[in-house]
Structure 1
């Protein structure tokens, strides 16, 4: 499994992987989770795909995308500030140049090379590792995201606990919460230590 960062300018070069990512998002958010998302021809997209994001992709040897996340500077339009603002405190998000938003995170667990080990999934931990590596390399030290309570528990088990920005709120059929995550070498070390304890040595590097 390889972690690949695809900026908006390179989406044409990696069109097959970007297409695979949109198909994965449709399967996870539309079919499996039943979210109210826009799926056309088996692909899920939304308005935030138009704001020049960087996509972080976990790519299997078969060139199928097994995991993905969308990264956008928090100082621009973001899903949390513009769509899920009810998850934020009264003073809002408070974006700054060192903050990046992660959205549309998902993993296809059926494609993992090593299967499930313990309570955490190898591809999920690789994606966490990749998000932190990319963020640090690009000058971000804080990651903001909206997620559900189940995924909040996964982050905590991975050694990367989220700091809540507000109280959980029902969005559709999901109890959601917003929070921030540190992007630092220390966070990276904790996730790698969690993987090592489960017999899953990571220490991959993001390919740009």
Structure 2
């Protein structure tokens, strides 16, 4: 199940958010060894203080297995304010119809089902991002990622349209780009990942965020 956690629901789902910060610590600090802020085995940064939207992927045991953070580009973003070197000669996007994704992470058991060369949970989280975008009339999602994730996106049939050239950031090769938000991109993800119907659900009402 995919949960959509908006700012007005932070208090109600504080335990889920704490579990998410723990997942991010395991993925970004322990596994990838990125230079990120951690405290008490929780990973947070200044962008978590800007009241983002979170998508949380839960497994059959109800543990959080994946997450992604979404912020409008009309305010501060990681691309504009932390990694402007990835923009090249391009201006940072600032549009109500373009949001930024960051802190995409998955922590999956070995038994996780696979489809199209990737864990099926990867497709679910991608589909949830697109469904959120369609629900909010977005046209694109901009992201800062690494070339490893760029290859995963290409394999998932949701290719990244690069903004500039990759650059070394810490111990990774970072790149920025746009992801298309459209019914066509959603259908490709659903087909490739063998997903049936919407994946993103409102946490309180139990209704699809997008159908």
Task: Bin the TM-score by the shorter chain.
Answer: over 0.9
**Distance in 1 between the 2:133 and 2:201 partners?**
13
CA contact (8 A) 1:142 1:180 kept: yes
**RMSD (Å), alpha carbons:** 1.4
**Distance in 1 between the 2:116 and 2:181 partners?**
25
Aligned residue runs from structure 1 range 100-139, under 5 A: 100-110=99-109, 114-139=112-137
Structure 2 gaps, min length 5:
203-211
In structure 1, which of residues 128, 140, 143 is the aligned counterpart of residue 141 of structure 2? 143
Give the number of equivalent residue pairs.
Answer: 202
**Distance in 2 between the 1:79 and 1:204 partners?**
29
CA contact (8 A) 1:17 1:63 kept: no
- SS in structure 2 at match of 1:166: coil
Shift of 1:96: 1.3
Structure 1 gaps, min length 5:
none
**Distance in 1 between the 2:116 and 2:158 partners?**
17
**Distance in 2 between the 1:89 and 1:30 partners?**
28
Question: What residue is the counterpart of 2:74 in the other structure?
Answer: 75
**Distance in 2 between the 1:118 and 1:61 partners?**
21
Shift of 1:11: 1.1
After TM superposition, the runs of 4+ consecutive aligned structure 1 residues lying more than 4 A away are none
Question: What residue is the counterpart of 2:184 in the other structure?
Answer: 186
Question: What residue is the counterpart of 1:29 in the other structure?
Answer: 28
Question: What residue is the counterpart of 1:55 in the other structure?
Answer: 54
Shift of 1:111: 7.0
